[in-house]
């Protein structure tokens, strides 16, 4: 049966979001270098997309496309570990999780993969960053989790529970 309301709801769900004035304004008011970004359209859209360059204490290298709430979480985490520079290999990336049919949190700009903190590779020193990450994110995957994360920390607030059960600490 044809339902015009369902069509409207589906159409509205595919409209790219822009960062809300409140989230973006809050980050800018805190001295962050951040700007509103266009959300990719389709199945991998970002809720309140922003491009994060730096917080008041930390430079993100290169700049990163994230949802505003994830950018805020990444900035809080970086401040908590007193990082001056965070090098990463990605935020937004429309893809499925490896060996799964589920979309990765990267598909929604809701994850970050960190490779270096202040020039030190994650593979050499990650435990403190992991512990602080679990205070802000509910999923933090480390070099001890599996070979796929041997060189980076993956952090997101998706449906994972790595920090809840905290097998690594």
Polymer length of the chain: 169
CATH number for region 4-165: 3.30.1380.10
Condensed to tens digits (0 to 9), the pLDDT of residues 22-54 reads 899 999 999 999 999 999 888 899 999 999 999
Condensed to tens digits (0 to 9), the pLDDT of residues 70-125 reads 999 999 999 999 999 999 998 999 988 877 778 989 999 999 999 999 999 999 99
| Token pair listed for 169 | 């600490």
C-alpha to C-alpha distance for 137 and 142, rounded to whole angstroms? 13
Q: Are 115 and 152 in contact (CB under 8 A)?
A: yes
């Amino acid at each position: 049966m044809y339902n015009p309301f369902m069509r409207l709801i589906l159409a509205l769900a595919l409209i790219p979001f822009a960062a809300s004035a409140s989230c973006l304004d809050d980050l800018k008011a805190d001295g962050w270098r951040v700007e509103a970004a266009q959300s990719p359209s389709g199945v991998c859209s970002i809720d309140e997309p922003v491009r994060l360059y730096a917080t008041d204490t930390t430079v993100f290298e290169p700049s990163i496309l994230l949802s505003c709430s994830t950018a805020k979480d990444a900035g809080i985490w970086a401040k908590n570990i007193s990082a001056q520079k965070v090098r990463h290999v990605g935020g937004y990336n429309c893809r499925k999780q490896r060996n799964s049919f589920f979309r990765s949190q990267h598909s929604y700009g809701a994850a970050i993969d960190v490779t270096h903190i202040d020039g030190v590779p994650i593979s050499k020193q990650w435990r403190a960053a992991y512990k602080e990450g679990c205070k802000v994110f509910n999923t933090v995957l480390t070099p001890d989790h599996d070979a796929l994360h041997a060189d980076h920390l993956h952090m997101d607030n998706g449906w994972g529970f790595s920090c809840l059960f905290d097998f690594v600490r």
